[in-house]
Structure 1
């Protein structure tokens, strides 16, 4: 079973219109939805279609929200052999066929953490920069050149490959884990309220557990990202810069794969 964790922050219209990212009724997965801005319409929609819904503990950050759902799964149905825990943004659309292929690839290759090829448009012509290199102390100097705090991989060069490719980090918009690997990592670090929690968990996976993120270029999905952090004086920009400097500090000081406040380890 593929356990899909989705966090809504006022995304009820998008989730309902997309039929939960195209996965409503998919036999190969179970959707676990946490509503951070409780919506009666979304709650009723989930109840009608047998989808797990909770609006408990509102106000948590991205990482801790996903940790919350991971604990809900363990306390509820639990994880069986070959199950996956997949973090997915509410603005992702994916077919069940692609999801099945993704899960089969992870299982057959014994990959502990993986992602697929995201695009920003319905025609899947505009690549999403969901795979990147880790930022470092020189990232601030390089920013005017690469127009980003972390350098992206050239997806055009990778597009022809039918094999998986190891990358440094992948966006939390769509990121799959084996439950055991997620436990070893202690889940996402809740110290990151928003942004860079995906960079951090991929970094810990690589540095401490020798498990790189695997990118499957031939498996595609749509990500209609908003990129709110690009508005310089917004709250999102404040969270972005705080998390960026927090990651740099933790990158060089952290000594264990799981953060001390972890609540997903057994």
Structure 2
């Protein structure tokens, strides 16, 4: 079974219109778990009508903590079987069940414990989403005013001809698939990141403590209509963004084990 965790932050109409990101009608090998962070009666009713799990408990948690909540709930209610997967997916993602099945099957046969696919910003899949990147470093701060990005992105055009998965440093939490055993060993996302950089942090810890790279499958595609609210420098989102950015850089260079790193052992290499 593929367990799909979706957190709504006022995205009820988007989820209803997209039929839960295109996954609503697949029930045999896929189960959707909705956590509503801004409780909406319309989304609750929609889920009830379609027998989809819905909860609005503990509204107001951050992105990582919300996904951890659902992971623990799945473990408590149904448990994870040997070949199951845990998929973290934004409400603004649209993907076909066949694409999800292809991704998890490739992960299973290749032994990849964390992976993503090729996201696009438009329905025609012509505008690539920058969902795979290198880890940010101290130089990122100096480069940011010039390149308008906090970390170097991978050139998707250059790797488009790849016939198989490509190991990347980190991938956006908008769409990340995990083997449950790895997610459990990492302790999930670090909840001290309220918003932003939870995905950078969990990919970094997977590589640092468990020697698990993130794998990117360029030929498996989905749509991500991201809002990028953090780009307004005077917004609350921008404040969350820069606070999390600073926290990640401090942890990376001091090699501090995050507060929620599970059974991971800090790396002592230079």
Is the shorter-chain TM-score for this pair beyond 0.5, marking a shared fold? yes
Report the equivalent of 1:211.
212
Distance in 1, matches of 2:106 and 2:161, equals 17
Kindly state the Cα deviation for residue 263 of structure 1 after the two structures are TM-superposed.
Answer: 8.0
| Equivalent pair of 1:128/1:223 in contact (CA under 8 Å) | yes
What is the 5 A alignment of 1:1-266?
1-26=1-26, 27-256=28-257, 259-261=258-260
When residues 261 and 151 of structure 1 are mapped into structure 2, their CA distance, relative to the original with a 3 A threshold, is: closer
Local SS of the residue matching 1:157? coil
Local SS of the residue matching 1:3? strand
Kindly state the Cα deviation for residue 105 of structure 1 after the two structures are TM-superposed.
Answer: 0.6
| Equivalent pair of 1:117/1:220 in contact (CA under 8 Å) | yes
Kindly state the Cα deviation for residue 159 of structure 1 after the two structures are TM-superposed.
Answer: 1.2
Distance in 1, matches of 2:255 and 2:42, equals 42
Measured on the aligned residues, the alpha-carbon RMSD in Å equals 1.4
| Equivalent pair of 1:34/1:54 in contact (CA under 8 Å) | yes
Distance in 2, matches of 1:30 and 1:23, equals 9
Local SS of the residue matching 2:91? coil
1:214-244 CA-partner distances (Å, limit 9, x unpaired): 0000000000000000011001000000000
Kindly state the Cα deviation for residue 157 of structure 1 after the two structures are TM-superposed.
Answer: 0.8
| Equivalent pair of 2:6/2:91 in contact (CA under 8 Å) | yes
| Equivalent pair of 2:118/2:220 in contact (CA under 8 Å) | yes
Distance in 1, matches of 2:227 and 2:263, equals 30
Distance in 2, matches of 1:228 and 1:18, equals 21
Kindly state the Cα deviation for residue 25 of structure 1 after the two structures are TM-superposed.
Answer: 1.9
Local SS of the residue matching 1:138? helix
| Equivalent pair of 1:70/1:264 in contact (CA under 8 Å) | no
Distance in 2, matches of 1:87 and 1:250, equals 24
Kindly state the Cα deviation for residue 260 of structure 1 after the two structures are TM-superposed.
Answer: 3.4
Kindly state the Cα deviation for residue 129 of structure 1 after the two structures are TM-superposed.
Answer: 0.1
Kindly state the Cα deviation for residue 144 of structure 1 after the two structures are TM-superposed.
Answer: 3.0
| Equivalent pair of 2:186/2:262 in contact (CA under 8 Å) | no
| Equivalent pair of 1:46/1:53 in contact (CA under 8 Å) | yes
1:5-61 CA-partner distances (Å, limit 9, x unpaired): 000001000000000000002132100000001111101111111111000001100
Q: How many residues align?
A: 263
Q: TM-score, normalised by structure 2?
A: 0.95
Distance in 2, matches of 1:251 and 1:69, equals 27
Distance in 1, matches of 2:56 and 2:254, equals 35
Report the equivalent of 2:268.
none
| Equivalent pair of 1:131/1:167 in contact (CA under 8 Å) | yes
Distance in 2, matches of 1:261 and 1:89, equals 22
Distance in 1, matches of 2:108 and 2:261, equals 26
The runs of at least 4 consecutive aligned structure 1 residues that moved more than 6 Å come to 262-265
| Equivalent pair of 2:189/2:260 in contact (CA under 8 Å) | no
Local SS of the residue matching 1:123? coil
Unaligned 5+ segments in structure 2 are 265-270
